[in-house]
Structure 1
Amino acid sequence: MQQTLEDFYKVVRAAGVKISPVDSIETSRSVQLVGFRDRQILKNAFQVSLAKSETEQDVVAECFEQFFKFDAFGMGQVPIEQMGHEQRQSESANTDDPIPMEGYDGDLPLAKMLLDRDKASLATEMKKAAREVGLSDIWFFTQKSLYSQQIMQKMGLRDLQNEIARAGDGDCPGGVALANALREAKDYLAEEVRDFVEQQLSMYGKNTARNLREEHLSAAKLSNIEQRDFHIMHDLVRKMARRLSTQYSKKKKRENRGQLDFRKTLRSNAAYDGLLFETHWKTKFIDKPRLLVMCDVSGSVQAYARFLLLFVYSLNDVLNRIDSYVFTGNLIPVNDIFERYPVEQAIDVIMDNYGMGGSDYGTTLLDLEDQCMDDIDNKTTVLILGDARNNFLEPRSEVMQLLYQRAKRVIWLNPEP
């Protein structure tokens, strides 16, 4: 049972839904509570436990229907109450008539199942073999033949081939006919195994190509990334921005283990005649900090500007307290543009109106001092995206020094190596 659930979690993860260890534990408990008799209730339990949005609910529902459907050998949909268990051969009637073959006196189970068209037993053996060879680890379409052969071998292909050769020797009556029947049955088995492997690939390898592309793009130079990958980069940058936003998403309570809270300690231990069985330490609440982002859109960062702006846009998408600016010389606020337009259109508007030209960091820092310095305090993080090329102009390093003194943290991300 647990292995079946783990395989299902793997399918859901392959579809793009994140499942933490806590999620899997809670889902397993939910499954134990609702049971397996009502298919719809079980699907709802998976959706409630695993999905974190309406979109993910649809994904989980689709994975459920695909995972708990078994069409191999014409078996149709697997009853939920049998998931994770061997299907009983006696309870599953064979819909096809067995091959009328007299004279088979062998003791090979696979040959008997094929000649009798015992679909329940064949399906059970195939699933067992698939689990033994690790079919749930399939990722690429190039692995289909490998896994198909491995499953066939686990089911007894070599012994079946030997049986075909023995029957075809002509030493027993009807041997040639038996060999032909077994060959046809072997081809039938191979086709069913291939179909089953393709079905599993469609579940476990659903987003493999995109995941590989994302892995490549995450390590590539920004100047080497093509425009056609912009949407994938948008998703990658959003994930990065979301990770950065976790520290700003809520107030944090930090315990100071060095300072005992006497009032709370005495109050909680009044029932113990003053004996300090429960200690309480003073806590400090940390408010959400403010983030100020400055992005260089000058000609020297032309190859990177769109992706730098994409990063800023994604930060605006996941953070609430953020002030965004672009600059070549003067500092221009762009929060309203990000709110008004979708990502690609917003970037085009900014680049058309404020991009290119030579960068003047001295003028930018003076504008920062005039417009924002009074609002920058020890709760403000300043993020600067740019190559720091000042074209031999006055750098105004004193403003930068003042910025470091006032802000909680100043982070400069340079896109150049």
Structure 2
Amino acid sequence: MQSKVVEFTNLLRKSGIRVSVAEGINAFEALDELSIDDRDLFKDALRTTMVKRGDEIATFDQLFDLFWSGFYDSLRDSFGDIGEKMAGMDIDIDQLMQQIAEMLEQMDGNVDLGELAKALLTQDLSQLENMIRDAAEQAGTGNIENMLQVGFFSRRTTEGMGVEGAGQELEKLAQQLEEAGMSSEQVQALKDLMGAMMESLRKAVRSFTERELQTQNHDYMEKFRREMLTEKSFYHLTEEETIRMREVVHRLAQRIKNILSIRRRRERKGKLDLHTTLRRNMATGGLPFNVIYKHRRKERPKLVILCDVSSSVANVSRFMLQFMYSLQEAFTRIRCFVFVSDLGEVTPVFKDSDISSAIERALDGGDVINVYTRSNFGLAFSIFWRDYLSSIDKRTTVLILGDARNNYNDDKAWCLRDIQSKAKNVVWLNPESPSAWGFGDSVMNRYLPYTDIAEECRNLRQLAKVVDSIVL
């Protein structure tokens, strides 16, 4: 039982539920005090000790049912359908099996059947379950990763069991029984029964493979949907996908925070300074009794965000702001400005509210600008140049998000030139394809010389790539 609990714990970790060693020990201590005969009590004990977050309960319940519910019940259901099918054909299975047994006794050992054929003929489900499990293990079914592999591993499992050979043995048995005097109607009924058993066996093997997929990769489809979501254009997200996208952005931000945390720990420890270590230990013949480390701290940058909140780029702005403010510990300070035509600072909005509420307020103008007007990038940049240029220094990264559709107004590119000359770098994220930059009322080509990085940003994958380059 202990090994099964450890295996279940590893399965939870693989599926994204964080179970510490201490929590695993707590589970064993709880089980020592409780009876494992009560399934509900056993489940509650494991869930109480291993699950910390409410949103992980559904995953735990699904994995518990898959892992601790026996395959035998599914196998019994598969072979139980045979009786109903044969009854519909006016065939009495019990009478047929009794006659087969009597004739086999008369043939006195002239029939050579393998283990699988015997288990099928006698419908020994326990033996069949063990044979399926052993063959699946030999086939490496535990390594299954997606639905496309179900057929492959099912076929390898049936080949390992020798299903084709068992079928041939049963056909040979039918011929021998016919030669021994069994009527043609009964022989045909036997062949129908054998065909139904072989079909049920193949279904049972496939069912086992699918259960293994659900157990090992129960969230495969969810992962697949998240990956597809990262490739989908922000312009075409449905309301439901917008809600799900927030969770995907949160996961990506958490991944970057984990990387930053590891990097900070390494910086605190330092890097081995081999040259200085050898010099300091010359008195001991070069034996490193005194180990010297290099400590080089990477200064966190300041971030200034200039965010176009016009309706055409609202979704892009929403997820970019969520991404950056989820990573605010990577910066010494974040200042956020929104614009359509006028420009205003919404940094206080993010201090007074949670991120989700602050983003929605910022997209509505944050009570500092009118969002129901025509875009004018030149005016917005000139306001920033006039009122906030002094806040830019060589530690500041300026992040601009907008489509540069200026409605044929003066672009005032010189304002961006002066901003770039003072900043560490200027990064521009444009949701339009580069092939559209500079066409129509787009003035992106006028701003490009004064940016250090200019990238297309239509989906989450592209956004994450740029964020990685800024933060990591």
Q: Please state which band the TM-score falls in when normalised by the shorter chain.
A: 0.5 to 0.7
1:382 and 1:166 map into 2 onto residues whose CA distance is 80
Q: Which residue of structure 2 aligns with residue 84 of structure 1?
A: none
Q: Which residue of structure 1 aligns with residue 246 of structure 2?
A: 234
The one of 384, 394, 419 equivalent to 1:368 is 384
Matched, 1:347 2:356: no
Name the larger-Rg structure: 2
1:411 and 1:196 map into 2 onto residues whose CA distance is 52
CA RMSD of aligned residues (A): 4.9
1:118 and 1:186 map into 2 onto residues whose CA distance is 14
CA contact (8 A) 2:303 2:396 kept: yes
**Amino acid across the alignment from 1:359:** S
Matched, 1:111 2:123: no
The alignment partner of 1:412 has SS state of strand
CA contact (8 A) 1:260 1:281 kept: no
The one of 165, 172, 175 equivalent to 2:180 is 172
Q: Cα distance, 1:303 vs. partner?
A: 3.4
1:219 and 1:128 map into 2 onto residues whose CA distance is 40
Q: Residue by residue, what CA displacement relative to the aligned partner does 1:202-237 show, whole Å, maximum 9, x if unpaired? A: 435644444444333433443344444212333333
1:155 and 1:361 map into 2 onto residues whose CA distance is 70
The one of 330, 340, 344 equivalent to 1:332 is 344
Q: Cα distance, 1:415 vs. partner?
A: 1.1
Correspondences of 1:9-408 after superposition (within 5 Å): 13=14, 15=15, 17=16, 55-56=55-56, 59-60=59-60, 62-72=62-72, 101-102=101-102, 103=104, 105-136=111-142, 137=144, 139-140=146-147, 148=154, 150-169=156-175, 170-172=178-180, 176=187, 182-183=194-195, 185-204=197-216, 206-242=218-254, 251=264, 253=267, 266=280, 272=284, 277-298=289-310, 302-320=311-329, 321-335=333-347, 337=349, 340=353, 343=356, 346-347=359-360, 350-351=363-364, 354-408=370-424
Q: Residue by residue, what CA displacement relative to the aligned partner does 1:23-71 show, whole Å, maximum 9, x if unpaired? A: 9xx98xx89xx89x97879x969x86xx896645763564255224322
1:258 and 1:364 map into 2 onto residues whose CA distance is 50
Aligned residues: 374
Q: Percent identity?
A: 23
**Amino acid across the alignment from 1:66:** L
1:184 and 1:274 map into 2 onto residues whose CA distance is 79
Summarize the Cα distance change of 1:348–1:256 in structure 2 as closer, same or farther, 3 Å threshold: closer
Summarize the Cα distance change of 1:69–1:371 in structure 2 as closer, same or farther, 3 Å threshold: farther
The alignment partner of 1:285 has SS state of coil
The alignment partner of 1:284 has SS state of coil
Farther off after superposition, 403-412 or 167-176: 167-176
1:196 and 1:259 map into 2 onto residues whose CA distance is 56
The alignment's TM-score, normalised by the length of structure 1, stands at 0.68
Q: Cα distance, 1:327 vs. partner?
A: 0.6
1:387 and 1:404 map into 2 onto residues whose CA distance is 19
Structure 2: where are the runs of 5+ without partners? 37-41, 77-96, 106-110, 434-472
Structure 1: where are the runs of 5+ without partners? 77-98
1:144 and 1:274 map into 2 onto residues whose CA distance is 60
Q: Which residue of structure 2 aligns with residue 81 of structure 1?
A: none
1:231 and 1:368 map into 2 onto residues whose CA distance is 33
Summarize the Cα distance change of 1:6–1:374 in structure 2 as closer, same or farther, 3 Å threshold: farther
CA contact (8 A) 2:399 2:428 kept: yes
1:202 and 1:247 map into 2 onto residues whose CA distance is 29
1:350 and 1:74 map into 2 onto residues whose CA distance is 53
**Amino acid across the alignment from 1:385:** L
2:155 and 2:68 map into 1 onto residues whose CA distance is 24
